[in-house]
Amino acid sequence: MVFSRNMTTTIIDCYTDEPAGLGVPPYLGTYPRYIYGRLKHDSRSEEIFYLTIDDIRLYRRYSSRIPETKPNSKTNINILNLTRNWSRTKEILSGTDRLIVILGVHVPGKYLSAVPGTLKEVLGYIEGLRCYKILTGPAATEHGTQLEGGKFAKMPDKGAFDETIADLVTDYDDIAKAAVKGAEIQKQISDLRIAEIETGRGCTRYPGCSFCTEPLKHRLEFREQRDIHQEIKALIKNRIRHFRLGKQSCFYSYKSDGANCNTKEIEKLLKPISEMKPDVLHIDNANPMMVDEPATRLIVKYCTAGNTAAFGVESFDPDVQEKNNLNCNNEGIYKAVRIINKHGAARGENGMPKLLPGINLLFGLIGENKGSFEHNISWLKRFVDESLLLRRINIRQVTPFEGTRLYSEAGSRFLKKNRKHYWKWRDSIRRSVDYPMLKLVTPAGIVLKQARAEVYDGKNTFCRQVGTYPLIIGVKQRLKLGSSYDLRITGHMLRSITGEPA
């Protein structure tokens, strides 16, 4: 793509979710920031607009008029995440010379306050626009995109775009400049955002797990600390004070040899960020085999409370682990859970434990059978019985992406074979593990501070603290959306909790 031509460019953010990297609100991903920054850096006089898929929906479905909210209605999360440009969407699109669409989900999930755009949806919205159209993001890779787990990916119609490029800004030297300039994109965003910060790409375990696209898309490399620090300084200058070091396959592997943590380099990364006093500093992905005590102590010391290290466990079945080249065995997972509980289970200033592990489980992997569920439930119950805290258990059906070993060797064979069991398996985990675990993590009576009211569901308000995998807290009254409250916990559901203003 030519960056230097003077023209009006509009970025449409349809939101992204990948094994390494989240860009679904309230997260602000790296794609829009890097692209905006590169355009600003290479063409200072160019006019650049940032729109979300929510802006486009509001224009196409409601003629850019925000519908009246009825007293008992649900929040319409299809049009919740509007930019400051929402009322000018028609004017901006009609004056656009170059349209850049960011789109793609490689980790299908459910989102409390946003709905990512799909290829079919966005094509219907932009079909009649007379401008140069570029598709970028996960959907532009050979793997395609899919918003629903358990289904095959959708591939882009390349005839609908003039260019299809997975990454418009790829080199880390270019990213160092673009990330700083790209912080200015926040000026076009009216609501709070958590900035997803890239620390590295690729995976130390090439070719990696059978289902994962990350090691296929990128060679292993890490960003320099000084570049990350400059980016965060620029974001703070532009009113973003919440950060997740999440765009990497394993935080503990930062600048490591893939066998041992490099604690010196981790501290050089974390300490200066902590000294900037961000409101939130969290991490995301972690390979349990890399978790050790020195690195965990550093994360607890320099990051803010409510932090979660999300383990890509996927399955506790040893046979499934071997057949899918998963990253850890059960004893390694157990050891990692114990280490993080030892150093991170104490409550922090916001009422949550300082650092807890999270568990990701995938249904539909090679070799899965009824016995796989028995392994899963047995190990998860062990954590409950030993009062080893888990922040959350994420359960989803795998998507076989083209180019992965899962796609070529099994496709949807095991999904189809066991699909009739999935709801029963999931419900059993929710009732016998999630429910008692929530009582351990957030006992009734404790106060969780600064929970932000995000959406309405009838007369109820769903709130969350800002950060990585925050708990949903249901409050039986309509609080002011966007405002923050200290909430006293009153009860527990299967995956969420209830509270009242303290």
How far apart are alpha carbons 143 and 156 in whole angstroms? 10
pLDDT at 401 over 60: yes
In this structure, are 146 and 68 located in the same domain?
Answer: yes
Q: Where are the beta strands (DSSP E) in 288-409?
A: 307-314, 355-363, 393-397
Kindly indicate the confidence band of residue 3, based on its pLDDT and cuts at 50, 70 and 90: low
The conformation of residue 174, written as its DSSP 8-state character, comes to: H
In this structure, are 209 and 341 located in the same domain?
Answer: yes
How far apart are alpha carbons 137 and 144 in whole angstroms? 10
User: How many Å separate Cα 188 from the centre of its chain?
Assistant: 21
In this structure, are 434 and 305 located in the same domain?
Answer: yes
In this structure, are 380 and 470 located in the same domain?
Answer: no
Tens digit of pLDDT for each residue in 314-372? 999 999 999 999 999 999 999 999 999 999 999 999 999 999 999 999 999 999 999 99
pLDDT at 89 over 70: yes
> Which one of 164, 185, 204 terminates a domain?
164
pLDDT at 17 over 60: yes
Is 170 a member of any domain?
no
What's residue 153's pLDDT? 87
Kindly indicate the confidence band of residue 45, based on its pLDDT and cuts at 50, 70 and 90: low
Is 343 a member of any domain?
yes
What's residue 157's pLDDT? 84
The conformation of residue 64, written as its DSSP 8-state character, comes to: T
In this structure, are 489 and 426 located in the same domain?
Answer: no
In this structure, are 232 and 320 located in the same domain?
Answer: yes
What's residue 5's pLDDT? 63
Is 485 a member of any domain?
yes
Residue 303 is encoded by which pair of tokens?
């990051």
> Which one of 164, 182, 213 terminates a domain?
164
CATH code, domain carrying 203: 3.80.30.20
- Note if the bond before 207 is cis, omega within 30 degrees: yes
> Which one of 441, 471, 493 terminates a domain?
441
In this structure, are 221 and 334 located in the same domain?
Answer: yes
Is 50 a member of any domain?
yes
Residues 6 or more apart whose CB falls under 8 angstroms from that of 468 comprise 244, 246, 282, 283, 284, 306, 307, 308, 310
Q: Are 235 and 183 in contact (CB under 8 A)?
A: yes
Tens digit of pLDDT for each residue in 141-184? 989 999 888 888 899 887 899 999 999 999 999 999 999 999 99
What's residue 174's pLDDT? 95
Q: Are 13 and 112 in contact (CB under 8 A)?
A: no
CATH code, domain carrying 453: 2.40.50.140
In this structure, are 426 and 472 located in the same domain?
Answer: no
User: How far from 176 is each of 45, 92, 227, 264, 268, CA to CA, in Å?
Assistant: 21, 29, 5, 22, 17
pLDDT at 71 over 70: yes
How far apart are alpha carbons 380 and 116 in whole angstroms? 31
- What average pLDDT does the segment 191-209 reach? 92
150, 239, 185: which is closest to 32 by C-alpha? 185
208, 12, 223, 209: which is closest to 117 by C-alpha? 12
What's residue 215's pLDDT? 86
Q: Are 361 and 398 in contact (CB under 8 A)?
A: no
- Percent residues over pLDDT 90 in the chain: 87
What's residue 38's pLDDT? 94
In this structure, are 46 and 137 located in the same domain?
Answer: yes
Residues in the chain, how many? 502
In this structure, are 491 and 375 located in the same domain?
Answer: no
pLDDT at 185 over 90: yes
pTM of the model: 0.95
In this structure, are 464 and 344 located in the same domain?
Answer: no
What's residue 1's pLDDT? 60
SS3 38: helix
Is 74 a member of any domain?
yes
When the pLDDT of each residue in the chain is averaged and rounded to a whole number, the result is 95
Q: Which amino acid is at 275?
A: E
How far apart are alpha carbons 208 and 213 in whole angstroms? 9
Is 185 a member of any domain?
no
Is 118 a member of any domain?
yes
**Overall domain count for the chain:** 3
The conformation of residue 486, written as its DSSP 8-state character, comes to: E
- What average pLDDT does the segment 4-20 reach? 89
Kindly indicate the confidence band of residue 207, based on its pLDDT and cuts at 50, 70 and 90: confident
Tens digit of pLDDT for each residue in 100-143? 999 999 988 889 999 999 999 999 999 999 999 999 999 999 89
What is the distance in angstroms between the CA of the first residue and the CA of the last residue of the chain? 53
What's residue 262's pLDDT? 97
- Number of other residues whose CB lies within 10 A of the CB of residue 502: 14
How far apart are alpha carbons 131 and 221 in whole angstroms? 36
User: How many Å separate Cα 245 from the centre of its chain?
Assistant: 11
- What average pLDDT does the segment 20-43 reach? 94
Kindly indicate the confidence band of residue 475, based on its pLDDT and cuts at 50, 70 and 90: very high
In this structure, are 386 and 249 located in the same domain?
Answer: yes
How far apart are alpha carbons 317 and 208 in whole angstroms? 18
At 344, which helix (H) or strand (E)?
helix 330-344
- Note if the bond before 26 is cis, omega within 30 degrees: yes
Domain assignment of residue 14, given as a range: 9-164
Handedness of CA 391, 396, 398, 399 (dihedral sign): negative
- Upper half-sphere CA count for residue 394 (Cβ side, 13 Å): 24
Is 1 a member of any domain?
no
How far apart are alpha carbons 395 and 376 in whole angstroms? 11
How far apart are alpha carbons 144 and 155 in whole angstroms? 5
